[in-house]
Structure formats: C-alpha cells, structure tokens
Amino acid sequence: MSWQLADTTLQSRFLIGSSLYPSPHIMRQSIEASAAEVVTVSLRRQSPEHKGGNAFWQHIQRLNCHVLPNTAGCYSAKQAIDTANMAREVFATHWIKLEVLGDEYNLQPDPFALLEATKELISQGFEVFPYATDDLVLAERLVTAGCKIVMPWGAPIGTGRGLINPYALKTLRARLPDTTLIVDAGVGAPSHAAQAMEMGFDGVLLNTAVAEAGDPVLMASAFRDAIMAGRSGFEAGVIQQRDLAKPSTPVLGTPFWHQEP
C-alpha cells in the first residue's frame, strides 16, 4: 500500500544509502533489488561549480529514485546548514537528512546543535529529516520546531546491533502517533527491520547492512521482504505476548476415549 513521506507518495518503506558498496555497479544492482524509492547521498565538500563527484551523481540519477542528501560528517550546526544549502543547489531538492554529530566514538547526534540547525533549515524552506537518538523529549522538540519526520537510531551507525532500546522506540511511536517515524542506523539484519516495522514505524533507513554484506544484492532483497512482512504484521495486528500458554486447539468438545479395565 502507498504511504506519504513529506510531500511525496511512495510504495516502498525502505530507504537505502549509497555508500560503502564494492563498486558502483553493485550499488546500482542492490538499490534496484531493494525496490527502495528514496536513496540517501552524501555531499562531499566540493564546489558545485567544479562538478565534484559528477560521475557518481549520474549513477544515482539513472535509478530514478528520490534523492535524500545528508549532512554526514558535520559536527556543528553551521557546518550542517552550509552543507544542506550546497546539497539543495547540487541535487535541486529541499529534502535534507540532517546529521549533526556530537561524539566521534559512537557518532551520536548532538541534540542541541541538531535542534538549532533544524530550526534554521526549516525557516529556509527545507523538509528536514533529522537523524536523532531515541530520546522522546528531543523528538518532541523537533516536531514542535516543524519536523514532519523524525529518524531515531536503532543503534549507533554501522554497528548492526539492531534495536538496542525497544522500550524507547515503542514510547516514541506511542507518543508521536501523527509523526512519520523512520528507524535510521544500527540495523544489521532483516529481522531487525521487521521488528521495527511490527512496532508501527513508517519505514527503515539503512546502508551498511546491505553494502557490507557478503552478497549486497541478495541482502537488499532480504531487507525489502522483511520490511514488507513487518508492515503487514503491524497492519494485521500482532497478538499480545502472554505469560501463560494458551492452546491453539480448543479442548472443549474434544472427543476422548475411556479404556475399560
């Protein structure tokens, strides 16, 4: 079923990254296998008029996907704002995946700089996709600032550890029912993606788990199917967990035999 991401109607709930692949050819095959309609790209700090990375952009354009530029590698609000404006010029889009990192060890977003940059970019007409932790208060502040989308991490970028704090993610989903929530970062296996979708998240964004897999194309297909299955499970209504066993076959009315002595 179709869904709405910002001002765009999509079919796929899989958002995929474009870095770390063994080759541009495998990147393109993997993205096609994923059926993703949104591809994230990183803008290197090169002057747009010098056509920096033009060959790479051509590969991306041939995919006919929506481009979501990011501000990867930025450690201040000013750096992120400047990079976002360059990306808008290069890619001709007002979408921006906003990353403002605060720690080099675990690449955790800086919540204060993230909120500062978000407010400024929204005032400049950007559709901001903020990469954040699973902190509820931060997410609420981002929504108040004008974000229609919030992208909490499952775990630190590239760790593949999955959803390390399901309680926090479930709380975000429950408290922000009208906000588009996309799990971004830390997803390592298709089962992690299915888990996020079963919680009611609107989509999953990942890169490393596909790009660094033994077979990126096959892994992209696996994530595609897992995300679809997880969403179907959520829409169907996953049963509540129980402490006691409950027989799937009713005992009432079951025939029994009495053996004569």
Q: How far apart, in whole angstroms, are the C-alpha atoms of residue 9 and residue 240?
A: 32
β 3-5/203-206 pair status: unpaired
- CA 63 vs. chain centroid, Å, equals 19
* The token pair that represents 55 in the structure block: 């060959």
Cβ-based burial of 247 (10 A; exposed 0-12, middle 13-18, buried ≥19): exposed
Rounded to 5°, the CA angle 114-61-99 comes to: 10
Catalytic annotation, pick one of 97, 119, 148, 246: 97
The reply, when asked if residue 102 is annotated as ligand binding, is: no
Helices (H), the chain: 24-34, 54-61, 77-91, 111-123, 136-145, 166-175, 190-198, 208-211, 216-236
The reply, when asked if residue 85 is annotated as ligand binding, is: no
DSSP, residue by residue, 171-199:
HHHHH-TTSEEEEES---SHHHHHHHHHT
The reply, when asked if residue 196 is annotated as ligand binding, is: no
- Assess contact for 220 and 31: CB atoms under 8 A: yes
Active site residue 97: yes
The H-or-E segment that residue 255 falls in is none
The reply, when asked if residue 208 is annotated as ligand binding, is: yes
The reply, when asked if residue 77 is annotated as ligand binding, is: no
Residues that constitute the known binding site for 1-deoxy-D-xylulose 5-phosphate:
158, 185-186, 207-208
Residues that constitute the known binding site:
158, 185-186, 207-208
Catalytic residues: 97
